[in-house]
Chain A
Amino acid sequence: MNILVFVKRVPDTESRIRIQHETRTIAEDGLNFVISPYDEYAVEEALRLKEAQGGTVRVVSVGRDETATVLRKCLAMGADEVLLVKDDLPETYDGLRTARIIARAVERKLAGADLLLFGKQSVGADNSQVPAMVAELLGLPQATVVTKLEVEGASATALREIEGGLEKVVLSLPAVISAQKGLNEPRYETLKGIMAAKKKPVPVVTLDELGFGAGDLVPAVETTGLDVPAARQAGKILKGDPAETARELVRLLRDEAKVI
């Protein structure tokens, strides 16, 4: 089976976010960048499918030169090949722009895949857009937010999370899947893997080489403001006898907050 996995380089979730007000962007200095956590489930699922059924795993990322580091991690985990699509723009929040780049890269450089695996959302932008957009641009079926995947021959069955339950989606391949926590437990890279990854190349393709012209990828999202959330008012903290504090809390919820 020929599997493509799409990963994004993002600030790790422990990061303290600082806002640059003039440019309405997040300051990048001092941030620790990682592969987006849901994308790791996608990489792991691809490796497991390959181990069970044979085939190749290619991992692709759209981003700046620094993105090579997360692709190396994927090589160390066991991916066969990687591809960096070089895009110099910082975060645009325009999922369709990224999806267009990915769809074009698939058509021109990565044809013949049976399965396209994504994370359910890239942490940070928290968009949850790219996988379904790529599916639509390529005319493929999709299952997003998947916690269980079975592939047999030319079809796949996925369980996806919905409110209060799961949906079973039956898909014919090729198909797009986005991974949710619960799908698997990602492996750690081994020392041997890390050493081997160092020797493998990280090929780069430019937007130009994918046939995009200067005006083709102007973001359609315009940032007009970026702010930290309004600080919550310091709350009322009750101490002492459990029965009394419980009674006082209920009184506050009813008379002051009026939520009950």
Chain B
Amino acid sequence: MIAAYLEIRDGKIKKSSLEALSEAKRRAAELGVETAAVLVGAAVSGLAPAAFAQGAAKVYIVDNPVFADYSSQAHAFALAGFAAQAKPSAFFFAATAMGKDLAPRVAARLGVALVSDCTKIAVKGGALEFTRPIYAGKAFLSLRLKSSPQLATLRPNVFPVGQAGEGTGETIRLEVAIPEGSTKGRVTEILKEESAELDVTEADIVVSGGRGLKGPEAFSLLRDLAAVFPRAAVGASRSAVDSGWIGHQHQVGQTGKTVSPELYMAVGISGAIQHLAGMSSSKFIVAVNKDPEAPIFKVADYGIVGDLFEVVPKLTDELKKALKD
């Protein structure tokens, strides 16, 4: 069995978790084994149909008011309990803030190795082979895990979500008695960004600005451009963030976030190696820069050499027209 943990935010299963489940389904089909999904939370059984629709044959549910607030300790206890009972051969998580917090704890509890931030999973000689970037994407490592279950976190936006079907399956409720002292750390509050902007790691399109923007004002040009698309977010280089032009949660790169959108637009960004580290796995890269020698053009699929203050408003107009047709 290959299982996927389904993370719930705002009462819904996260898209990156559906990606992990879809990948579990594809690899399980190749290996001729079952696919399962795991939900942990308070009153979450209503989400099982969404997991069946993505091809899970079994949905394991740990439903308990204790899990209303996230506690890595208690959640890890529940998931290790699931693994001990269902004995999956592999168990996938999305490499989200929660997945990266939780999966290592589950691994330690089970005493098994974990592979982080996979961008490819293949079946070779009947076994899973995981591929992931290291050195911020300067190299790709392929590896096998010799412990079982094989735990992996999957980079968001890399693995496609499968076509939803009419599938149904078996719902299995797990009783997990959480031991005393398992919630010595817990989330008491979630502070949303005021603007409720989409996070750069979750956007299909990321429009990023750098020092070439010359100040905070020009970010409104990028916001206008991003607003043309339904799921776009505004990113930034470290220089723009360090200058205080935009919040650091927007930073893309080695010390910022790693993004893999369908389309990444780098505006007034030179393309330093630490910036490329965060965005080079984007499917398409567009650069706007006045310097034809800027290194960003070496990784860009399409580039415009020009002044961003002239080009970006024109681009926004053209995109609006194109998307209307």
Interface residues of A in 88-103 (CB under 8 A from B): 93-97, 99
Contact B146 A136 (CB under 8 A): no
Is A52 engaged at the interface, CB distance under 8 Å to the other chain? no
Q: Which single member of A94, A160, A222 contacts B97 (CB below 8 Å)?
A: A160
Is A196 engaged at the interface, CB distance under 8 Å to the other chain? no
Given A133-B107, A250-B318, also A242-B297 (CB < 8 A): no
Given A136-B109, A245-B304, also A26-B147 (CB < 8 A): no
> Which residues from chain A contact B292 at a C-beta distance below 8 Å?
237, 239
Contact A142 B107 (CB under 8 A): no
> Which residues from chain A contact B193 at a C-beta distance below 8 Å?
164-165
Contact B263 A260 (CB under 8 A): yes
Quote the shortest CB–CB distance from B189 to chain A (angstroms).
Answer: 4
> Which residues from chain A contact B145 at a C-beta distance below 8 Å?
220-222
Is A132 engaged at the interface, CB distance under 8 Å to the other chain? yes
Q: Which single member of A144, A220, A257 contacts B301 (CB below 8 Å)?
A: A257
Contact A132 B302 (CB under 8 A): no
Q: Which single member of A129, A136, A145, A166 contacts B116 (CB below 8 Å)?
A: A129
> Which residues from chain B contact A238 at a C-beta distance below 8 Å?
302-305
CA distance A246 to B302 in the complex (A): 11
CA distance A237 to B143 in the complex (A): 37
Output the nearest chain B residue to A240 by Cβ-Cβ distance.
B306
Given A165-B191, A253-B302, also A229-B142 (CB < 8 A): no
Q: Which single member of B108, B198, B199 contacts A133 (CB below 8 Å)?
A: B108
> Which residues from chain B contact A126 at a C-beta distance below 8 Å?
116-117, 133-136
Residue interface bits A188-229, CB-to-B below 8 A is 1, else 0: 000000000000000000000000000000011111111111
Given A229-B280, A238-B302, A238-B305, also A128-B143 (CB < 8 A): no
Interface residues of B in 97-149 (CB under 8 A from A): 97-98, 100-102, 104-105, 107-109, 111-117, 129, 131, 133-147
Is B307 engaged at the interface, CB distance under 8 Å to the other chain? yes
Output the nearest chain B residue to A18 by Cβ-Cβ distance.
B139
Contact B146 A135 (CB under 8 A): no
Quote the shortest CB–CB distance from B256 to chain A (angstroms).
Answer: 7
Quote the shortest CB–CB distance from A35 to chain B (angstroms).
Answer: 14
Contact A136 B104 (CB under 8 A): yes
Given A96-B112, A127-B116, A246-B315, also A163-B202 (CB < 8 A): yes
Q: Which single member of A14, A165, A170, A223 contacts B141 (CB below 8 Å)?
A: A223
Residue interface bits A227-260, CB-to-B below 8 A is 1, else 0: 1110011011111101101110111111001011
Is A53 engaged at the interface, CB distance under 8 Å to the other chain? no
Please count how many residues in chain B sit with their CB below 8 Å of the partner chain's CB atoms. 100
> Which residues from chain A contact B243 at a C-beta distance below 8 Å?
none
CA distance A215 to B230 in the complex (A): 54
Interface residues of B in 284-325 (CB under 8 A from A): 284-287, 292, 297-307, 310-311, 314-315, 317-319, 321-323
CA distance A140 to B109 in the complex (A): 12
What is the interface of chain B mostly: helix, strand, loop, or mixed?
A: mixed
Q: Which single member of B9, B136, B184, B205 contacts A123 (CB below 8 Å)?
A: B136
Q: Which single member of A13, A182, A224, A253 contacts B129 (CB below 8 Å)?
A: A224
Residue interface bits B222-237, CB-to-A below 8 A is 1, else 0: 0000000100000000
Is A159 engaged at the interface, CB distance under 8 Å to the other chain? yes
> Which residues from chain B contact A115 at a C-beta distance below 8 Å?
none
> Which residues from chain A contact B311 at a C-beta distance below 8 Å?
242, 245-246
Contact B256 A175 (CB under 8 A): no
Contact B187 A161 (CB under 8 A): no
Stretch in B20-28, B37-45, B247-255 touching the partner: B247-255
What is the interface of chain A mostly: helix, strand, loop, or mixed?
A: mixed
Is A65 engaged at the interface, CB distance under 8 Å to the other chain? no
Given A17-B135, A229-B137, also A260-B115 (CB < 8 A): no
Q: Which single member of A132, A135, A246 contacts B304 (CB below 8 Å)?
A: A246
> Which residues from chain A contact B262 at a C-beta distance below 8 Å?
259
Output the nearest chain B residue to A120 by Cβ-Cβ distance.
B100
Contact B100 A144 (CB under 8 A): yes
Contact B136 A220 (CB under 8 A): no
Central interface residue in A139, A161, A220, by most chain B CB within 10 Å = A220
CA distance A125 to B249 in the complex (A): 22
Output the nearest chain B residue to A17 by Cβ-Cβ distance.
B138
CA distance A87 to B100 in the complex (A): 26
Output the nearest chain A residue to B310 by Cβ-Cβ distance.
A242
Stretch in B51-59, B69-77, B162-170 touching the partner: B69-77
> Which residues from chain A contact B9 at a C-beta distance below 8 Å?
163
Q: Which single member of B104, B146, B305 contacts A95 (CB below 8 Å)?
A: B104
Is A56 engaged at the interface, CB distance under 8 Å to the other chain? no
Contact B322 A254 (CB under 8 A): yes
Contact A229 B140 (CB under 8 A): yes
> Which residues from chain B contact A246 at a C-beta distance below 8 Å?
304, 311, 314-315, 317-318
Where the two chains meet, the residues of A that have a C-beta atom closer than 8 Å to any C-beta of B are 11, 13-15, 17, 19, 26, 37-38, 93-97, 99, 123-137, 139-145, 159-172, 175, 181-182, 219-229, 232-233, 235-240, 242-243, 245-247, 249-254, 257, 259-260
9 tightest A-B contacts by CB?
A141-B185, A225-B142, A136-B108, A246-B314, A220-B113, A132-B104, A162-B97, A141-B184, A171-B185
12 A-B pairs, CB-CB below 8 angstroms? Answer: A19-B139, A145-B100, A160-B101, A167-B97, A181-B251, A181-B255, A222-B145, A228-B138, A237-B300, A239-B304, A240-B306, A259-B262
